[in-house]
Structures are given as C-alpha cells and as structure tokens.
Copies of this chain bind each other. A is one copy, B any other.
C-alpha cells in the first residue's frame, strides 16, 4: 500500500456530521460536505453500522450515534472501516526459506517489532475521542 485508505478520514468526517447535524445528515448532505458520491458515503456508513457506532433510518433518512462522542475514539473508527487487512498493518513476505539462518528466524524476530510499532500507532489513535476532535472547531 501506498497509503491508508481515505475511508478512514471520510468516516471521521461522516461521524462528525452526524454528531453535529443529526437531523440533516442524509447521504446526499454528507456527500456534499465530503465532496464525493452518496454511494461512497453509504458504503462507509454500512461499515459504521456493522461496528455498532451508528443507527440509520431507512426510508425517512438521517442517522444517529449509538455512543456518546466521548466514547468513540479514532481507533474505533479506524477499526470500523477495515483499512488494515486482518487488522495487521504490516505485510510480511510469505514462506521464507527455512534452510537459511536468516530465512528461518527473521519472521519471529521482526514480527514482534512490527506489532509493537502498529500498537504504538493504534494507542495514539485511541487517545483521541470524537468529542475532542469536534471541540477543535465548534
């Protein structure tokens, strides 16, 4: 990958709108703010529903948060949009040659460090709530 999908930043955008404008937050309105297609918004909203973060009103329109903004962290959103395959950020090359000293041991040696690095990032995301983020500009 070159970059973590913008699904993540769009999801944060969507949740911010739902938090601030629960009544007006139709797919069309959100798409206008994000500046993309309503179907893109719906796809991400499906993931947010699946993660139990929001409830959507079919037919009538609009959505609402299922948790307080102070209870939703950036990590919750990051996980909801499934930007990292199997939750693993780093892709380790498959099947190194076990007949070689390095090939036989590099995976175990490196795996722990990659996990630690990923964890450091995720813990930083977990420190920020949607409430704190919104407070920056309301």
Chain A contacts to B: CB under 8 angstroms:
1-6, 8-10, 12-13, 16-17, 20, 32-36, 74, 83-85, 88-97, 100-106, 108-110, 113-114, 116-125, 128, 133-134, 136-138
Residue from the list B36, B88, B101, B121 in contact with A121, Cβ < 8 A? B121
Known: A3-B84, A125-B117. A13 touches B106 (CB 8 A): yes
Do the beta carbons of B133 and A124 come within 8 Å of each other?
no
Do the beta carbons of A84 and B9 come within 8 Å of each other?
no
Do the beta carbons of B110 and A117 come within 8 Å of each other?
no
For residue A34, which residues in chain B have a CB less than 8 angstroms away from its CB? 93, 96-97, 103
CB-based closest 7 A-B pairs: A1-B1, A105-B137, A3-B91, A121-B121, A33-B100, A2-B85, A109-B136
